[in-house]
Amino acid sequence: MNVPEVAYVAVAVSDVAAASRVFNGELGLANKSGSLGDGSEVPLFTVGRTALAVFEAGHPFLGADSRPGVHHIAIAAPDPTAYLKAIDVPAVDGALCEGIDGVRQLELGLDATCGVRLRVCEPLVVAVGGSPYVERIDHLGVASSDNNRAAAVFSGKLGCPLESTQTDMEVQMAVESFTSDKYGVVYHNRPPQPMGGLRVSFLTAGDFELEFLQPFDPMPENADHSGPPPNQPGNTRGDRGAIGRYIQRRGSGLHHIALKTPNINQLLPDLARKGLRMIDFKGRPGSRRALIGFVHPASLGGLLLHFVERDEL
């Protein structure tokens, strides 16, 4: 089976105009307006080969649970009904409905997609253009309670190749010192203590990956998942805690969007100077030997966005 192409990624924000200023004005993404069946319009930003559709939170097109965040992915297929029949995955409602710009689409059930909201639609025409700051979507982060099951669905049924897997773990190390007026100072390193982290699986869809993030904790009685203090860069412990809390509140599902950039240490401080509230002001180590940096969700109407700079292998 071929790698599925993605027509668009739908995000929900509390302020579409403010988010659009960031995507178009600050990041230089090409855009056009897409029409909806109720006569309203949705801005579509071109990110690599994929459209990013920005909806107002609560918009009827999104259906249930349309709080701010990444809402759904739409796989492109000339015949959505035939596509679902071929992969043997049922739609919520077998009847085709009208999507963006009139293209027909079907919605899949959450039980069949490990909590990831997924639709299949006819191909969508997007604006032509590139950005000096953003190359494409690097990945969509998915809060996952079972990466093995997610791989069975997205790789086994949908044809998303497994790009790589890894384990992100924070380790704490204590150093003891023994100081004597006669014998001097001796330092002793205690064995490293794992503080928990994330098991990560990357599966390719379109020109980006789905990053399934499953929290794990080998020593829950000792671990601290509070994360860094306010106005300090993020860390692995904080990332693990954020994913775990998301699953407790909302269950497994789409969590954040990451955009690939050629120069993260130029982009992050530039966005801060332009008034965006930031979590990271310079790139920090991330998955796949990357440098990553997060924008605070308050800057994008509740959408969690981060940037990735990395070399392709």
The DSSP string of 29-82 is --EEEEE-TTS-EEEEEEETTEEEEEEETT-GGG-S---SEEEEEEEE-SSHHH
> Which of 84-98, 159-173, 255-269 reaches the highest mean pLDDT?
255-269
Query: What does the pLDDT average to over 14-23?
Result: 96
Kindly report the average pLDDT of the chain as a whole number. Answer: 90
Instruction: Look at residue 284 in the predicted model and tell me its pLDDT.
Output: 93
Query: 6-15, 159-168, 219-228: which has the highest mean pLDDT?
Result: 6-15
pLDDT at position 223 is 46
On the question of pLDDT at 225 being above 60, the answer is no
Q: What pLDDT score was predicted for residue 93?
A: 80
Q: What is the pLDDT of residue 222?
A: 45
As given in the structure block, the two tokens for residue 214 are: 């499953």
The amino acid present at 157, given as its one-letter code, is K
Q: Minimum mean pLDDT among 90-99, 135-144, 182-191, 230-239: which range?
A: 230-239
Whether the model pTM is above 0.85 = yes
Please, are residues 81 and 93 in contact by the beta-carbon 8 Å criterion? no
Q: How confident is the model at residue 68 (pLDDT cuts 50, 70, 90)?
A: very high
d(CA 302, CA 284): 22
Q: What is the mean pLDDT of residues 103-130?
A: 93
Would you place residue 173 in the very low, low, confident or very high pLDDT band (cuts 50, 70, 90)?
confident
* H or E, element range at 248: helix 236-250
Domains of the chain (ranges; CATH) run 6-309 (3.10.180.10)
pLDDT digits (tens, 9 = 90+) for 20-38: 999 999 999 999 999 999 9
